[in-house]
Amino acid sequence: MSDLFWPGDERAGELMSGPSLLAAMVRAEAAWLSALVEAGVAPAAAKDDLADLVDPAGPDDVEAIATGAESGGNPVIGLVRLLRSRVEVRNADAARWLHRGLTSQDVLDTGLVLCARDVVEVVRGELTAQVGRLADLADEHAGTLMAGRTLTQHAVPVTFGLKAAGWLGGVLDAYDAVVALRWPAQLGGAAGTRAAWVELAAGLDDPRQVADDLAVGVADRLGLAATDPWHTSRAHVTRIGDALVGCTDAWGRIANDVLALSRPEIGELSEGAGGGSSTMPHKANPVLSTLVRRAALTAPQLGATLHLAAAESVDERADGGWHAEWAPLRDLARRTAVAASQTTALLDGLEVHADRMRATHDAALDDLRAEQRGMADLAGREPAHHYLGTTSRIVDAALARARTHLQENR
Amino acid sequence: MSDLFWPGDERAGELMSGPSLLAAMVRAEAAWLSALVEAGVAPAAAKDDLADLVDPAGPDDVEAIATGAESGGNPVIGLVRLLRSRVEVRNADAARWLHRGLTSQDVLDTGLVLCARDVVEVVRGELTAQVGRLADLADEHAGTLMAGRTLTQHAVPVTFGLKAAGWLGGVLDAYDAVVALRWPAQLGGAAGTRAAWVELAAGLDDPRQVADDLAVGVADRLGLAATDPWHTSRAHVTRIGDALVGCTDAWGRIANDVLALSRPEIGELSEGAGGGSSTMPHKANPVLSTLVRRAALTAPQLGATLHLAAAESVDERADGGWHAEWAPLRDLARRTAVAASQTTALLDGLEVHADRMRATHDAALDDLRAEQRGMADLAGREPAHHYLGTTSRIVDAALARARTHLQENR
Amino acid sequence: MSDLFWPGDERAGELMSGPSLLAAMVRAEAAWLSALVEAGVAPAAAKDDLADLVDPAGPDDVEAIATGAESGGNPVIGLVRLLRSRVEVRNADAARWLHRGLTSQDVLDTGLVLCARDVVEVVRGELTAQVGRLADLADEHAGTLMAGRTLTQHAVPVTFGLKAAGWLGGVLDAYDAVVALRWPAQLGGAAGTRAAWVELAAGLDDPRQVADDLAVGVADRLGLAATDPWHTSRAHVTRIGDALVGCTDAWGRIANDVLALSRPEIGELSEGAGGGSSTMPHKANPVLSTLVRRAALTAPQLGATLHLAAAESVDERADGGWHAEWAPLRDLARRTAVAASQTTALLDGLEVHADRMRATHDAALDDLRAEQRGMADLAGREPAHHYLGTTSRIVDAALARARTHLQENR
Amino acid sequence: MSDLFWPGDERAGELMSGPSLLAAMVRAEAAWLSALVEAGVAPAAAKDDLADLVDPAGPDDVEAIATGAESGGNPVIGLVRLLRSRVEVRNADAARWLHRGLTSQDVLDTGLVLCARDVVEVVRGELTAQVGRLADLADEHAGTLMAGRTLTQHAVPVTFGLKAAGWLGGVLDAYDAVVALRWPAQLGGAAGTRAAWVELAAGLDDPRQVADDLAVGVADRLGLAATDPWHTSRAHVTRIGDALVGCTDAWGRIANDVLALSRPEIGELSEGAGGGSSTMPHKANPVLSTLVRRAALTAPQLGATLHLAAAESVDERADGGWHAEWAPLRDLARRTAVAASQTTALLDGLEVHADRMRATHDAALDDLRAEQRGMADLAGREPAHHYLGTTSRIVDAALARARTHLQENR
């Protein structure tokens, strides 16, 4: 995939694309059918892995199901019809038992969870790569003096290592939120009672236990957590959104620093390979920072939409709140994956101009040390040679946190 | 186009799709080249309509340009390269003069304006269709008594005609904002000075006048307004966004009424053809209302993103604010077009159960007339037979406004 | 008023404060009572201007009414009770007729409109002051060369006059939207039918005409437009919000430019009186720009909330959508008024360092003229002495627009 | 406090009010001065608890500091000046050492954290009260049959106990996020290096260790976590925001259910004491649900603003991003506290009309059992007597989770 309106979109590949969602929904249906057979609810003859019935990679099936989705309000009805018609040819029992006991929301929610997990897996990898690179930068530049700036003006000295350690801390915070996410299957039937399951299992011993086992069996097959239905309790979704926005927050801050410090008059940082211009041959634009910043500016509103959708739950399935989740979650997830990759590339190629940092620092020293003079006066001593406080200890602490992270994520 | 995550997306067809944007940008480049030749800036030999150089409808060109867009931060650089390489074969002068004097933002902004105008044109048509249908409903049901409801509870009597007139007023308000939109070309060169134009026209009489003429010539060719550059003044964009959100606001209100009143216990309205369920055979869900409501829940955040992008303008081209506009504008525009069409369909198929309205009204009469009794007491008279105030006059005023609209939009 | 959490809040004075809303609601009630008497619906003895019955400026009445507002969901019920109990002592007829025929929403919506109009009046004045100052800046610096910057990097030459003209255009665009706002009274009774009015006027000739006259009479008394009820069509409110956000968009762009260009390494602009630091004696922070930027970052979400509230209209009065409007509208309005005043102060004190602009321009000339060399090559001529294109014509056009504005707003 | 624009605001009392923030900032300054003395950095004579120096409860100090906040961009500079001038009279050493080593952001961030923690403490209490009430409702109504509804239409049978268990699960999810919040002090000095601390401690053994001890000492005094500076890594703030929005999401869903089910035609739930009308004597509006819903509609945009502010961090202190946090955090926090209390009241007073539930269920039985017939057909058996699946097991699981919660929060 790629998107003329969102440069870099191809970095997200097929993550949470239409084909990916279609494939994930088929996986959910297959896991269900398999569990039904294993539990003895459906006959052994209904066993069918549903493989090859749809072609997510080709445009036709996705198009057909997407186009048919409006009539039922979601794409699952058409998917089930299509699966049933195609499997019937080779396995009438499978056609008969397919989807029985599920509701559209089960399939779509579970499919979305599977897709979102794939995105988060990729994002985790990028975050870990960034941790490695940022630890290197913080370590290498632990002693690289530069002007600290507040409200755009020179404040007191810092080191670029400290700045990198700050970026690193933000990335690790984002990682902590991402790794805490849970990935539950949605399995509840029409109104979250699993009534159809018990009805279908009526001939077996303890149908209610069979129903519970079905939920566990499907979740296990998909590598998801087995939980009770959460069809109108959308915290699982909003947490995903919040964690993703937390990532773009952390990257946005990095991008903003790069954009400010790569202004030619400052020149302390530059993107390794700047972007060209359609008309100005000399240009080397900080394109990756610009595009990461773009993501950071737009992600919060997408996260807010997920919360709003959650807040608008009602009844046993919402009349719009649920439907308002899907595209914003997709957009947020893909754009976060893109920004993840762009940030890694940005950091990998980042050039640190320690000489410019030092030159500006030295030229501004009188201002940068103004606070120090006040403190030395107060303490009744001459100003010390340096004015970096515990900077190196703070950097070390960030590096230690990074090392722990990298060991756990090797 | 269709979108598995946004049922009904196919209703927007190719409006503001990747192919449409590509085609629009090519139109902008062609208009510029043509104007250059006509002004005598470029030689007559450079004349080329650029037709057939790219294939927006096929996936390859869009994909290639989209995938290459990241390196320059926007898709124009790749587009120019592609156009130049292809036109060179047949017209070396065209290849040489193509895009000269423009900057990426000129082409992309103008392309977005062209695409947005197409969307708004379609939305206008739908709004007008809705005005016609709503006027019929308001007229037909001017006397259809029903319970007025405030904060979900029975209040005083109204008529369904009054409710339809209220919907109608909202749709007309939305139309007024949409029709007031302006469609300016963006033409300024690298930093909005048109310096390259004057440089290119240096050999002609009054190069500055030539530059002004070029701006007018291009705008005329595209049917857009000629204005001075607005590269960092984004009110044109935010107004489009605000007007589109104004539409979804109006439709959301209609959808909410339909959703509430089509609850089975109320049963005063129903969608003509409700949506089915993947598991419950009896279901006739108010699917269109649900999907329209979905759009209304998500549009405001997209509009806010456009404002934020505008507010984050800086320098002579923003470092992210500009880039943050494109996808949200596309998403908002397409989703508004979808919701426009769905609302028209919803209204066309809407079934009004005047009997249920009347029955509920009559059963609740004691409550619905409670206020009246207080007023009659105060006035020292017996309560009148009706308690509808100026309802019919208000409906008539809305109908008159609708008639004016329909005459102007015939 | 002032707000520890929103520095500068005191610039908004009592605009749309609790006391102002209370006073405005009393004005609405007084206008209604007066119209009832004039129309002969209420007896002449009920005439009472309600003056001095509540003390908006003192904390007690506002507090009492605000604290009581929850029980009815809005502050009007408590206000009516308080007015009635206090007026009874001097005028039992007034107590009897007060508010009869109105509903809470009539009073609150009309009060909000009155308050919002006051805010917009102040904002208009600030915008006009800014137009004057910006015209001076654009004029004075029409020839002040500086580096044009795109994506943070040097692009081609511009003048500071052109930048100021761009700011000016944004401010004029914002003004155009603000001046187009309409200020309607809300007068509809419980469900927008004006049924109570007709009932109360039953003893008069043509009670429906009386009702229409009442609406006109009240609107006239308040200087508002007489319209049909818009209780569930909230475009009037969203337009106010959109126009206000349009203002903060325009100011945000100015603030961003000042913040970037007042970085010490650039030093092309500075706030006349920078802000101090609690610990660094040398600091002169661009405080006003920072606070204006703050407003621009937060306003879009408030505008989005107004749209969402509008979209969530339902029935004849919404169950939360209406209530969700009040505080966001207040916050947006006050913060816009604050930012208006801060932007005026920022511009009034702005120091333009033409020497630094010129020095940077000259030092970067090779890059800034790179495009020009390409164009001259293409045209087969030597590069011209200047590379400013139609800059001065664009500035002149902005100045002409400003002059027209200033004449109309004298 | 109370707010005419936000009925119910007084439920939040002084939580995160101006006076509370002022008091919290004074606590932060006092903790710092105390730590300086204890560490031997400041002389013993500087010991002063700063008590009674400002009067947060009176309007004057808050007003004076708020009004002066604009000049430095935040309220801390004025606070320090005021504290210093007042303490000087009784303790010149305290005046001399006060605030030395801190920066404005240290004091304000720490003050905000203290205030937010107080809010969250109250919200936790309300959530726990809700858990108790919801567990009772779920338990009591485990067998209360009602129609399950999806997309507003009848689906399959559920029990009200299951619905209450769903609400309960949402509330427990919200609690889990709230309880996971961390409360760090912000202590870093001008640019997060703690340079002033080391300078002030230059005469002591191991000044860097002294600096670390100071950070721990202050955090301990305030009951906050000691962390390295997070001045430009705002995940602590966004997590608070996300957790609070998670609460309003959960409550919004409850409110929506109450609003839908208390429509007179449905009548399955009602607020114990409905709200009155200014004109309709019979009205009993679901006011609390309406106001809770209002909060749920507006909270997501406030949470988004906090994320945007975080994403706009830059340098060692942001030029607007930081300032954009304060008021939205306050608004979100107070409104969440209000909604917390309102939701508790709503649930406490909620009346469950089991008879209406049952009557509707029975009347709709044919539809509600349509799915069951399909399943029974498929299983080749007669439909079972019930169609509730594992409803009671799901309710039991929710009750078990609630019991664990209540034991841990006794």
Question: Is pLDDT above 80 for C222?
Answer: yes
| Lowest pLDDT segment from C144-153, C271-280, D364-373 | C271-280
Percent of chain B's residues with pLDDT above 70? 100
Whether residue B286 and residue A319 make contact (CB cut-off 8 A), yes or no, is: yes
Q: Report the alpha-carbon distance of residue A378 to residue A383 in Å, rounded.
A: 11
Q: If pLDDT is split at 50, 70 and 90, which confidence band does B45 have? A: very high
The answer to whether A77 touches A114, Cβ cutoff 8 Å, is no
- Which of A93, A150, A373 is the best mutation test for D, with the most CBs of D within 10 A? A150
Question: For all residues of chain B together, what is the average pLDDT?
Answer: 96
- Which of C280, C290, C371 is the best mutation test for A, with the most CBs of A within 10 A? C280
- Which of D249, D306, D317 is the best mutation test for A, with the most CBs of A within 10 A? D249
Question: For all residues of chain D together, what is the average pLDDT?
Answer: 96
**Residues D317, D330, D334, D335: which is the catalytic one?**
D317
The answer to whether A29 touches A98, Cβ cutoff 8 Å, is yes
Percent of chain C's residues with pLDDT above 90? 95
Assign B158 to helix, strand or coil: strand
| Residue C216 burial (C-beta neighbours within 10 Å; 0-12, 13-18, 19+) | middle
Q: Is A253 considered catalytic here?
A: no
| pLDDT at res. A203 | 93
Structure-block tokens of residue A303: 């996260």
Which chain A residue is nearest to residue D208, measuring alpha carbons?
A390
Q: Report the alpha-carbon distance of residue C342 to residue C344 in Å, rounded.
A: 5
Q: Which partners does chain D have (≥3 C-beta pairs < 8 Å)?
A: A, B, C
pLDDT in tens, C159-217: 999 999 999 999 999 999 999 999 999 999 999 999 999 999 999 999 999 999 999 99
Q: Report the alpha-carbon distance of residue A250 to residue A174 in Å, rounded.
A: 7
Question: Is pLDDT above 80 for C276?
Answer: no
- Which of D11, D278, D290, D343 is the best mutation test for C, with the most CBs of C within 10 A? D278
The answer to whether C391 touches C159, Cβ cutoff 8 Å, is yes
Percent of chain A's residues with pLDDT above 70? 100
pLDDT in tens, A136-157: 999 999 999 999 999 999 999 9
| pLDDT at res. D284 | 84
Please give the DSSP secondary-structure letter assigned to residue D285: B
Q: If pLDDT is split at 50, 70 and 90, which confidence band does C275 have? A: confident
What pTM value is reported for the model? 0.98
Whether residue B381 and residue C203 make contact (CB cut-off 8 A), yes or no, is: yes
pLDDT in tens, D300-331: 999 999 999 999 999 999 999 999 999 999 99
pLDDT in tens, B57-76: 888 999 999 999 999 999 99
| pLDDT at res. D58 | 82
Average pLDDT, integer, range A166-183: 97
D3 touches chain C (CB under 8 A): yes
Question: Is pLDDT above 80 for A281?
Answer: no
Which chain C residue is nearest to residue D279, measuring alpha carbons?
C103
Q: Which of residues 143-172 of D touch C (CB under 8 A)?
A: none
Question: Is pLDDT above 80 for D275?
Answer: no
- Taking one residue from A and the other from C, the number of pairs with CB-CB distance under 8 angstroms is 97
The answer to whether C140 touches C353, Cβ cutoff 8 Å, is no
Please give the DSSP secondary-structure letter assigned to residue D323: T
Please give the DSSP secondary-structure letter assigned to residue D159: E
Closest CA to C313 of A263, D213, B173: B173
Average pLDDT, integer, range C300-319: 98
| pLDDT at res. A278 | 73
Q: Report the alpha-carbon distance of residue A210 to residue A184 in Å, rounded.
A: 19
For the residues of C188-251, what is the DSSP string, one character each?
--TTSS-HHHHHHTTTSSSHHHHHHHHHHHHHHHHT-B--S--TT-THHHHHHHHHHHHHHHHH
Structure-block tokens of residue B407: 């005459």
Average pLDDT, integer, range D259-264: 98
Average pLDDT, integer, range C378-385: 93
Per CB-CB distance under 8 Å, the chain D contacts of B266 are: 263, 265-266
Q: If pLDDT is split at 50, 70 and 90, which confidence band does B56 have? A: confident
Per CB-CB distance under 8 Å, the chain C contacts of A280 are: 155-156, 370-371
Percent of chain D's residues with pLDDT above 70? 100
pLDDT in tens, B301-339: 999 999 999 999 999 999 999 999 999 999 999 999 999
- Pairing state of beta strands A269-270 and C153-159? unpaired
C70 touches chain D (CB under 8 A): yes
Q: Which of residues 239-258 of C touch B (CB under 8 A)?
A: 239, 242, 245-246, 248-250, 252-253, 256-257
Per CB-CB distance under 8 Å, the chain B contacts of D284 are: 153
Question: Is pLDDT above 90 for D1?
Answer: no
For the residues of B65-120, what is the DSSP string, one character each?
HHHHHHHHTSTHHHHHHHHHHHHHTT-HHHHHHTTTT--HHHHHHHHHHHHHHHHH
Average pLDDT, integer, range D95-102: 97
What helix, strand, coil percent values describe chain D, rounded to 5? 65, 5, 30
Q: What ipTM was predicted for this assembly?
A: 0.97
**Residues A317, A330, A334, A335: which is the catalytic one?**
A317
Whether residue A6 and residue B302 make contact (CB cut-off 8 A), yes or no, is: no
Give the end-to-end CA distance of chain D in Å, rounded to a whole number: 30
Question: Is pLDDT above 90 for D272?
Answer: no
Q: If pLDDT is split at 50, 70 and 90, which confidence band does B34 have? A: very high
Closest CA to B25 of B86, B75, B85, B64: B75
Nearest residue, CB atoms, D264 vs list B281, B287, B364: B364
Whether residue B8 and residue A70 make contact (CB cut-off 8 A), yes or no, is: yes
| pLDDT at res. C53 | 95
Task: Reduce the secondary structure of chain A to three states and give it as a string.
Answer: CCCCCCCCHHHHCCCCCHHHHHHHHHHHHHHHHHHHHHCCCCCHHHCCCCCCCCCCCCHHHHHHHHHHHHHHCCCHHHHHHHHHHHHHCCCHHHHHHCCCCCCHHHHHHHHHHHHHHHHHHHHHHHHHHHHHHHHHHHHHCCCCEEEEEECCEEEEEEEHHHHHHHHHHHHHHHHHHHHCCCCECCCCCCCCCCHHHHHHCCCCCCHHHHHHHHHHHHHHHHCCECCCCCCCCCHHHHHHHHHHHHHHHHHHHHHHHHHHHCCCCCCCEECCCCECCCCCCCCCECHHHHHHHHHHHHHHHHHHHHHHHHHCCCCCECCCCCCCCHHHHHHHHHHHHHHHHHHHHHHHHCEECHHHHHHHHHHCHHHHCHHHHHHHHHHCCCCCCCCCCCHHHHHHHHHHHHHHHHHHCC
C216 touches chain A (CB under 8 A): no
| pLDDT at res. C287 | 97
Per CB-CB distance under 8 Å, the chain A contacts of C149 are: 263
Whether residue C389 and residue B249 make contact (CB cut-off 8 A), yes or no, is: no
A266 touches chain B (CB under 8 A): no
| pLDDT at res. B267 | 97
Average pLDDT, integer, range B234-258: 98
Average pLDDT, integer, range B142-163: 97
| pLDDT at res. B331 | 98
Query: Catalytic residue numbers of C?
Result: 277, 317
Percent of chain D's residues with pLDDT above 90? 95
Question: Is pLDDT above 90 for B46?
Answer: yes
Q: Report the alpha-carbon distance of residue B278 to residue A68 in Å, rounded.
A: 13
The answer to whether D330 touches C270, Cβ cutoff 8 Å, is no
